[in-house]
Amino acid sequence: MTKYGFLGLGIMGNAMATNLVNAGLDVTVWNRTREKCAPLVVLGARQGNSPAEVTGQCDITFAMVSDPAAASSLCFDSEGVLEGITPGKGYIDVSTVDPATVLRIAGAVKNKGGRFLEAPVSGSKKPAEDGTLVFLCGGDETLYQDAQPALQLMGKKSFYFENVGQGAQMKLVINMIMGTMMTAFGEGLAVGDKAGLKIVDILDVLTQGAVDNPMFRLKGLQMVQKNFSPAFPLKHMQKDMRLALQLGDELGQSLFTTGAANNWYIKARKGGGANDDFSAVFKYIADQF
Amino acid sequence: MTKYGFLGLGIMGNAMATNLVNAGLDVTVWNRTREKCAPLVVLGARQGNSPAEVTGQCDITFAMVSDPAAASSLCFDSEGVLEGITPGKGYIDVSTVDPATVLRIAGAVKNKGGRFLEAPVSGSKKPAEDGTLVFLCGGDETLYQDAQPALQLMGKKSFYFENVGQGAQMKLVINMIMGTMMTAFGEGLAVGDKAGLKIVDILDVLTQGAVDNPMFRLKGLQMVQKNFSPAFPLKHMQKDMRLALQLGDELGQSLFTTGAANNWYIKARKGGGANDDFSAVFKYIADQF
Amino acid sequence: MTKYGFLGLGIMGNAMATNLVNAGLDVTVWNRTREKCAPLVVLGARQGNSPAEVTGQCDITFAMVSDPAAASSLCFDSEGVLEGITPGKGYIDVSTVDPATVLRIAGAVKNKGGRFLEAPVSGSKKPAEDGTLVFLCGGDETLYQDAQPALQLMGKKSFYFENVGQGAQMKLVINMIMGTMMTAFGEGLAVGDKAGLKIVDILDVLTQGAVDNPMFRLKGLQMVQKNFSPAFPLKHMQKDMRLALQLGDELGQSLFTTGAANNWYIKARKGGGANDDFSAVFKYIADQF
Amino acid sequence: MTKYGFLGLGIMGNAMATNLVNAGLDVTVWNRTREKCAPLVVLGARQGNSPAEVTGQCDITFAMVSDPAAASSLCFDSEGVLEGITPGKGYIDVSTVDPATVLRIAGAVKNKGGRFLEAPVSGSKKPAEDGTLVFLCGGDETLYQDAQPALQLMGKKSFYFENVGQGAQMKLVINMIMGTMMTAFGEGLAVGDKAGLKIVDILDVLTQGAVDNPMFRLKGLQMVQKNFSPAFPLKHMQKDMRLALQLGDELGQSLFTTGAANNWYIKARKGGGANDDFSAVFKYIADQF
């Protein structure tokens, strides 16, 4: 039976690992703050003591951490992932990180004979819980095939691209569109509100038109209710916007709209909304607190 | 039998009037360039000689023209709508115009004893042809009720707001969101393309996620095919963006994202894309000609 | 002796009229709130009872009001300027208004045989007091020549352009650059401040370089002292930014930088800074209150 | 007599070292291509054989190289600066280097008991020749004091900040303001030009007002003449804008105006203007080629 490892049990990682454990897979979990492992151990997971140990004991190890610095640290620190990699081991980083970081990790893993797959996800808390994430994979195709049982438990669909870094880039493209749509949405609702229109009416009209989408439906209602409990924390969306803008700068693509949106997220992050859902950017757009 | 008038037979007006005529309603049509009436007359419409004549002979007259100047001219010029208005006559302007203009028209119609309803539409060429537009109505509620048979032939849904101007404002809110989503989409596709991702793959991933929407599906494919034949002409979207920004300015709402998007449309309009579909803004974002 | 009229005694108008009266010219003043005339009457001005009366009794009448609506109202209302215009009378509007409004006023004045000159000023309170304004004149060249004695008392320099509207456009171009420089300056100071640099040090370094200019020197010090008493009120700068953006939109010029700056001014205006100096936009950029 | 070293004799370094030698200081020079030392040796400089030798023989050594990679190499390579550092030795890097690199160099020098000062300059070729540069210094204050004789020969002014990195940050703040002023200027000239105003008239009016500054005077004329030969290459300005935006993002400062300006520079860089003067961004704003 394939042994799976899972490193990083935040909002996303916990939900994803739970789906693996509940399906009866052999899963060893690890998290920096050890207590977060307890609920999974109750469900049947093993407890790992370090990333190195988990990677060393498992065939395929997943990692889900919050940013490039954390992903690097997880891999390269003492007792980190790299120390557990031996020939044939599979390491799948499902975090969203910048291309440079993911290439560095991929190179180090391959250098020790391991197999590497980046697999950043599209989807946040609810899809993670429901096992309906979308995986954007780049790298070792044999690992992509071997990991199918786990990927299919955690997601509804996965895409495979040949090169490491393309998954991360695809993720950034998706999230920059999503993040900018959210500020466009917020600006529209805010100006409508100031004009005396009811936000629920605006939402109602939007559902009838060509731009109707699940995000507007779900987040729109939550924004009316001032419910900003985090499915996708604002600071993470802002990080993705920043990375997308850096990608555009590097490639010579002017991103005026995305750049403006990013500055709204920076304002919201600095203003106290870092850990709210990214839809909380609306409060800072509309000055409604 | 209620007599309907229809003024303005552009892309939208022609499709809408066709649905009325095909359903067997008594419809008198008029257009500045008279030849555009011919196909409708063939289908059974009457030919009107001036806006004043049409309004004077019909119970309820619809107007669909391209901008505030045209809407004003249609109403106030010699042999214009106003000359045909007598007590009880209904005038429904389904054009998208700014609140100031629509209030001036409404006041003038009511001043002559007429009933006025603004009813700007959400939806472009295809929904107009299919009779699946959405009407955003503000003004006289009896007229809103009396016009239901026609509104239901042309649209799938209509919303009623108490005050003239609210329909126009709702329309601007919807279109500013739509227009800004399009530049966000265009920037995402452009940076993805420069990064070596396939645009069809980006579209594929987008359909799996929270921002999946009919506009991205339809326009995305057309953008890949470089098909920018106009469903909603770019110059009209740019006009709506401009009006939305003016509304935000007036109401004290900062619109950084929408403002950036508008500048892309201005660049596209000036660059030769005025009469293309508004999705042609992509060419100017991506410098792909 | 030439009889001069002066309509509108706000911050600017009062200072300008004072320079005319103090130089011994024959000046009749009028203001909507009559009490503002008193100090000038004490200095030797005559009191006018209406714009029509002032224009009718004087050879050359200046007007300095706050926006296009006020300029229109001053001209076209009952007992307005137009009623006092007879052949040969000179009317010089030194307000900053949009080209459409100034053309309407010019046409009406010329229609009654009057001579019209637009002469919007560059410079705010201090130059108005010191008689060192710059006049950007467009229209009747004989009036431009006849008004030289007054223009030279109020300003250090005047420019003449052939067509009415070009003075207004030049003014908008100057002010859009000035307004955007101010938000660029504010963003620079704000990021430097957050980085731990002292704002006085930044100002000091700026004076040594290629962008050293009177505005940064004067306003920079006042910003450090949180002194935002209005020399040029923020709401007026925001109005000029808006008009400049409308001009750009009309002419097909994308103005991404200016558009972003305008949204900062809108935020500041709405947030309570409308009547502060336009440099108060810094507070809203830096979230320093 | 204090012994000075000077490493790097490009356009800037040669001019700066010449001023030191001409004033009679004891200067040892070194350059990767040895021939560039000859003119300075003729003037009285000593010839050094390696960075290590120069640093080892001199009390205070200046370095002026082109980028972070060159600065690192100069310090850390075999026979590099670091090998010559002994307790008390002073090393002053006047190159413009990113904060991470400068901190790494500073740490290494201090680790060997040396004293380090970053001193990036404001000013280009002409001020370097004239001895009118501005130094933005951060680091060891005793070294700053000891180096005064040399700094005063090469510059008209120097600023001292306590921490290494603050000089670099000050430089970014100055350049982000300068870069954004340039796009504001370009947008103003472009809209004025489209309105039919003469650009020379706009420049003339600007010189009369509160924003008159050397950059507008110099670059404005060159822009009219379409002379974009590089004093400060556009790609370097764009790099500084990018670094300033990253600093703002890190510190939580929204930079809407600067962000818009940066996107213009990206468009210009990609469009072919990378090696032109940064004022060439005007061509891309105005679509004038």
Q: Which of A235, A241, A249, A287 is best to mutate for the D interface (most D CBs within 10 A)?
A: A249
Closest Cα in chain A, distance from residue C45 (Å) = 46
C254 Cβ under 8 Å from any chain B Cβ: yes
- Give yes or no: B171 in active site: yes
What tokens were used for C200? 């006085």
Q: Which ranges of chain B have pLDDT less than 50?
A: none
C271 Cβ under 8 Å from any chain A Cβ: yes
B271 Cβ under 8 Å from any chain D Cβ: yes
Mean pLDDT, chain D, whole residue set: 95
DSSP calls for B155-198: EEEEEEESSTTHHHHHHHHHHHHHHHHHHHHHHHHHHHHHTT--
Which CA distances in Å does D272 have to D221, D265, D284?
22, 11, 10
What tokens were used for D61? 């050594």
A267 Cβ under 8 Å from any chain B Cβ: no
Closest Cα in chain A, distance from residue D1 (Å) = 48
For chain C, the 3-state helix, strand and coil shares in percent, each to the nearest 5, are 60, 15, 25
Angle in degrees, CA C53, C58, C60, rounded to 5: 125
For the annotated catalytic residues of D, the residue numbers are: 171
pLDDT band at C140 (very low <50, low <70, confident <90, very high): very high
Q: Which of A257, A277, A278, A284 is best to mutate for the B interface (most B CBs within 10 A)?
A: A257
Chain C CB contacts of D211 under 8 Å are 174, 177-178, 181, 213-215
A184 Cβ under 8 Å from any chain B Cβ: yes
Distance in angstroms (rounded) separating the CA atoms of residues B258 and A192: 14
Helix axes A99-111, A166-194, angle to 10 degrees: 150
pLDDT, tens digit (0-9, with 9 covering 90-100), for C188-243: 999 999 999 999 999 999 999 999 999 999 999 999 999 999 999 999 999 999 99
Distance in angstroms (rounded) separating the CA atoms of residues C17 and C21: 6
C34 Cβ under 8 Å from any chain D Cβ: no
Q: For residue A160, is pLDDT > 90?
A: yes
Distance in angstroms (rounded) separating the CA atoms of residues C53 and C244: 34
Q: Nearest-CA residue of chain D relative to B271? A: D287
Residue C23 belongs to what H/E stretch? none
Residues contacting C88, CB < 8 A, separation 6+:
C113, C114, C115
Beta bridge partners of A138: A118, A161
Beta bridge partners of B26: B3
Q: Nearest-CA residue of chain C relative to B268? A: C252
Residue with structure tokens 């309009």? B269
Residues 233-252 of chain B with CB under 8 A from chain C are 242, 245-246, 248-249, 252
Nearest to B260 among D260, D270, D287 (CB): D260
Angle in degrees, CA B228, B230, B232, rounded to 5: 120
Out of B3, B126, B156, B171, the active site residue is B171
CB C87 within 8 A of CB C56: no
DSSP calls for B95-123: S---HHHHHHHHHHHHHTT-EEEE--EE-
Distance in angstroms (rounded) separating the CA atoms of residues A23 and B168: 53
Q: For residue A283, is pLDDT > 90?
A: yes
Nearest to A260 among D246, D259, D269 (CB): D259
Residue D126 belongs to what H/E stretch? helix D125-130
By the 10 Å C-beta count (0-12 exposed, 13-18 middle, 19+ buried), A255 is classed as: buried
Cross-chain residue pair B270–D256, CB shorter than 8 Å: no
Closest Cα in chain C, distance from residue B211 (Å) = 26
Count of beta carbons in the 10 Å neighbourhood of residue B49: 12
Nearest to A260 among C260, C271, C287 (CB): C260
Distance in angstroms (rounded) separating the CA atoms of residues C13 and C90: 18
Q: Which of C158, C85, C164 is nearest to C117 (CA)?
A: C164
For the annotated catalytic residues of C, the residue numbers are: 171
Helix axes B166-194, A256-268, angle to 10 degrees: 110
In order of their start, the domains of chain C are 3-163 (3.40.50.720), 169-286 (1.10.1040.10)
ipTM: 0.91
What pLDDT does residue B121 have?
A: 93
Distance in angstroms (rounded) separating the CA atoms of residues A265 and C22: 55
Q: Which of C62, C50, C65, C53 is nearest to C25 (CA)?
A: C62
What pLDDT does residue D96 have?
A: 84
- Neighbours of C, requiring at least 3 CB pairs below 8 Å, are A, B, D
Q: Which of B101, B160, B246, B169 is nearest to A193 (CA)?
A: B169
Residue B28 belongs to what H/E stretch? strand B26-30
What percent of chain A lies above the pLDDT cut of 70?
Answer: 100
- Neighbours of D, requiring at least 3 CB pairs below 8 Å, are A, B, C
Distance in angstroms (rounded) separating the CA atoms of residues A241 and A225: 26
Q: Nearest-CA residue of chain D relative to A262? A: D254
Chain B CB contacts of A243 under 8 Å are none
SS3 of residue A281 by DSSP = helix
| Per-residue three-class SS string for D247-283 | HHHHHCCCCHHHHHHHHHHHHHHHHHHCCCEHHHHHH
What pLDDT does residue C253 have?
A: 98
Mean pLDDT of D40-53: 97
pLDDT, tens digit (0-9, with 9 covering 90-100), for A34-75: 999 999 999 999 999 999 999 999 999 999 998 889 999 999
Closest Cα in chain C, distance from residue A267 (Å) = 9
What pLDDT does residue A212 have?
A: 97
pLDDT, tens digit (0-9, with 9 covering 90-100), for A71-99: 999 999 999 999 999 999 999 999 988 88
The type of residue at D38 is: A
By the 10 Å C-beta count (0-12 exposed, 13-18 middle, 19+ buried), B98 is classed as: buried
CB B209 within 8 A of CB A178: yes
pLDDT band at D232 (very low <50, low <70, confident <90, very high): confident
Distance in angstroms (rounded) separating the CA atoms of residues D238 and C180: 19
pLDDT, tens digit (0-9, with 9 covering 90-100), for A196-212: 999 999 999 999 999 99
Nearest to B242 among C249, C255, C270 (CB): C249
Distance in angstroms (rounded) separating the CA atoms of residues C53 and C38: 18
Distance in angstroms (rounded) separating the CA atoms of residues B111 and B76: 13
Q: For residue D288, is pLDDT > 90?
A: no
Chain A CB contacts of D255 under 8 Å are 263, 266
